[in-house]
Amino acid sequence: MLEIELIRAEPQHAPELARICFEAFKAIHDRHGFPRDIPNIALANTLLAMLTSRSDVYGVAARVNNRLAGSNFISLTDSVGGVGPITVDPAFEGYGIGRKLMQGVLDHADRTGMQQVRLLQDAFNTKSLSLYASLDFTARAPIGLMNAWPAPAPDQSVRRACQADVPALDELCQRVFKVSRRGEITAALQSNFPIFLRERQGRIAAYSIAGFIGHGAGETAADALAVIGEAARQMPPETALFFCPLTSGDFFRAALQAGHRLRKIMTYMTRGPFAQPEEIWMPSIAY
C-alpha cells in the first residue's frame, strides 16, 4: 500500500510538478481526443513556477516514497477560492491521490474561513466529476470553452483598462457574479496582462480578461462579444479563448454567429454559498 504524504508545494518543486502537470493533461486529453490545455512543457513550467511562488495561492503536493506524484492549488486572492489545476502523475493513478490533493486545499479553505470554493472540470472526465460531487461540490452549469474569432475591424468603443478603471470593473463584476474579483483584476493589471473593456453611454458595459485564467462580465451579449472580438484581434491566437455558459442560450448563439467556435464543454461546480450570476458572465478556468 502506498504511503501518501501531503506537503506544501514550494518553488523548488516546480520543475517536477510541471512535468507531472504536462504529462497528466497530455494523457487525459489525448485519451479523449481533445486539444491539450497544457500543450507543451514550457507552458507547464511557467504555470507551476507562478503558482508555487505567489503568496495569494496555496498549493499542496503529494509525495510517495520521497517522489512527487501530483499537486493542487487554490487561489486566495478574493473571497472565493478557485481550485486547480489538480494533476496526478499517470504512473500513480488509481491510488486516491487526487482525493487527498483536493482535501488538502479544502482543509486550507476551512482553516482560513473561506466559505466559497469553486472550480471548472472537463465534462468528459466523469471520474473527477464524481470525486468533486463526493466532496460537496454541486454542478451549476455546463460551460463552453470557446475559441475566439477576431473582430473584422477595430471597435472604437473598446479599449484596454487601466488602474483607474478598477472600481467600475469591480462594480460590474459584483453586479453580475455576485462576488468581488477586485484582487484578481488588480493582479492582472499589475502583471501587464491586458483587460479589455467596452464603454457605452459613459459607463463600462463589459470587460474581459482573455485566456484560461481570465474572466469577464457584460450587460448584454453585444457588449461582451465586442470586447472578446477586439481582444482576439490584439492577443496571440493561443490566448484568444473565453468561457461561455451554455445555459445563456442567446449569448451562446450570438457567439457562434460572430464566428467563435466551441472547443469543449466543462462543468461549473461550487462548494458553499452560491448566488446565480446574472446578465452576461464569463467564468475563468477557476470559477
Q: Which pTM was predicted?
A: 0.95
| pLDDT grade for 203, boundaries at 50, 70 and 90 | very high
Residue ranges of the chain that CATH labels 3.40.630.30: 4-114, 146-282
- CA 34 from chain centre, in angstroms, equals 18
Its CATH architecture, for the domain 4-114, is 3-Layer(aba) Sandwich (3.40)
For 130-170, how does the pLDDT look when each residue is reduced to its tens digit (9 = 90+)? 999 999 999 999 999 999 999 999 999 999 999 999 999 99
pLDDT at 144: 98
Query: How is residue 257 written as a grid cell?
Result: 454567429
For 207-224, how does the pLDDT look when each residue is reduced to its tens digit (9 = 90+)? 999 889 999 999 999 999
What is the rounded average pLDDT of the residues 180-198? Answer: 96
On the question of pLDDT at 278 being above 90, the answer is: yes
For 100-128, how does the pLDDT look when each residue is reduced to its tens digit (9 = 90+)? 999 999 999 999 999 999 999 999 999 99
Topology of 146-282 in CATH? Aminopeptidase (3.40.630)
pLDDT at 7: 98
